[in-house]
Amino acid sequence: MSEPSSVPPTRRGFLGAITVLLGGAIAALAAVPVLGSILSPLRPAPRTGNDVPIPVGNVSDFTVGVPRRVELVRSVTDAWSRSEATTVGAAWLTRKADGTFTALSTICPHLGCGVNMDKQRGHFACPCHTSAFAMDGARLEGPAPRGMDPLTVEVRGQAVLVHYRRFKQGISEREEV
């Protein structure tokens, strides 16, 4: 590409190079803050006080051997907003004969749907891709790579508290998010 010009070829090359350089500088000045801000969520998140156990009721609210679904409600800071009571998830709680509890996260370890109770068959069933789990959470059938995720339950006097955690989906190991 060339065209007759009053500017001699060497000077043309020089001006062209400077122009490209300056154009690059403009692009860089815009790109750094824009990309930096867009990628902001990839920075490691600061530890929040989100491992405080969540009260879900009294021991007497639960019948021995019958799983009951409880909603987990606690205060949440989400980006800029703070809420005193937000439902962050749910768990299937079963009271055992010895007074201890088992808790299973309702989030299916396959792809994260909410796991239901199939009362007729007497096991847990995921409505999305037909994974089934035994009452203790073990995988029975379907595409789920592992059993349901257990949560730690604490009993303080009469109060039942659940330590809520979320785990990565789609893998056979249990890895906390």
Partner 1 sequence: MLKRFGDWLDSRTGHRALMHSALFERVLGGARWRYVFGSALVVLILLQAVTGIALELYYSPSTTDAWASVNYIETQVQLGSLVRGLHHFGASAIVILVVLHLLQTAWAGAFRAPREVNWLAGFVLMQIILALALTGYLLPWDQKGYWATQVATSIAGTLPLIGEKLQTFLQGGASYGNLTLTRFHTLHVILLPAGLVLFLGIHLALFRKHGVTPPDMPQEELERRAEPFFPKQLFYDTAFAAAVVGTLFFVAFSQGAPLEGPADPSSQYLARPEWYFLPLFQLLKYFEGGAELLGTVVLPGLAMGFMATLPFIHAFLVRRLPQAHRALALVLTLGLAGVGALGALAVASDRKDPAVATMAARAHEEALEARRLATKGVPTAGPLELYRNDPIVWGARVISAQCQSCHQACDTPNYTGSPCLEGYASRAWIARFLRNPRAPHFFGNTKIDEMDAYTGPQESLDALVEFLYSQGERPDVTVALAKKGEELFDGEGCASCHTLDGVGSGMAPDLKGWASHAWTAAFIRTPGAPRFFGELNEMETFDHTRLPEDELRAVTLWLHAQASQPLKFP
Beta bridge partners of 102: 94
CB atoms closer than 10 angstroms to residue 164: 21
83 binds partner 1 (CB under 8 A): yes
23 binds partner 1 (CB under 8 A): yes
For tokens 């405080």, what's the residue? Answer: 52
Per-residue mark of binding to partner 1, 130-149 (x: CB under 8 A): --------------------
For partner 1, the binding residue among 10, 36, 100, 160 (CB under 8 A) is 36
CA distance 134 to 136: 5
Which tokens hold the place of 84? 């005193």
16 binds partner 1 (CB under 8 A): yes
Which tokens hold the place of 118? 């199939």
> Is the CB of 19 or the CB of 130 nearer to partner 1?
19
Q: Are the CB atoms for 98 and 88 separated by under 8 Å?
A: no
CA distance 118 to 66: 12
177 binds partner 1 (CB under 8 A): no
* Chain residues in the site for partner 1 (CB under 8 A): 1, 3, 5-7, 12, 15-16, 18-19, 22-23, 25-26, 29-30, 32-34, 36-40, 43, 77, 79-83
